[in-house]
Structure 1
């Protein structure tokens, strides 16, 4: 295993154990020292991975962007823009929801913190930027036509993405990918031109 893989694995371990502690004791009651002790690392090692406790809650969003970027080339295997969007955003939703109760906790803590909202907004803007690039590429190569500009389309799709995410967090036993595809289908006719 490479050094970068070991570092990524340790960061993931710190994240998961911290989130478990937050779930058990409440976010405010958990200290960085407690997280470090649970992970079997020094407090200083914790700070090599996360600048502060709040950053743990941002890690999932950041890892989502990394996942999206790392899979951009695979999107070209899909024949249509809609399939590309369904594939990557459906996968991102599923990755979010694989964390279950921990994800609910992270969302609630994000909502309560101005710092976290501001920082997470940057990740959301970055995700939307990548979506705009995919849409513009499809428009420029002639595989997709719309009367709407790429920014408006991306913004609308992001709205559906987050609506689906919130619905899935609030309700149990929801097929997230299917819900996202259904919501995307509702607006797709208004976005695309035949």
Structure 2
């Protein structure tokens, strides 16, 4: 596969937009189904100026990734497509499990149930794995570069959220943080 194939852009129905928009749709569905959890998920009242910059940059990059995905064909029938699809299915299940655990936790409580027992940030983790899986299924270098940039920005958001949780939940969050890795096996 040549480098030019990895940056190929072509508007089409069977493009990377399908799984990309699925990740976004899941977020909206959970926010509709679990209104309190949805409100909590989008509450930015605690954001510092730095958190606001990361959030704004994240929204912009996510829109860019979605826009790029409209023009990136999935490599249907190839081993990369199969590998990406399997990884995406894994990420999708984990993403939904993380959203369910988050959305069903009462307001004012630390989310420690479900996959949150294994990771402090499973929603971000599975979203990012899903996004990387789409890059694999589409064999797109351009989409991969945008996704890597998004992952780096999301890490900044996570650091801000963890600071907020430390301030809000104090010792309880410190204990949770001490026993639970940020990204599953990665502290």
What TM bracket, shorter-length normalisation? 0.3 to 0.5
Larger Rg: 1
* TM-score (ref. length: structure 2): 0.33
* TM-score (ref. length: structure 1): 0.32
Structure (1 or 2) with the greater helix fraction: 1
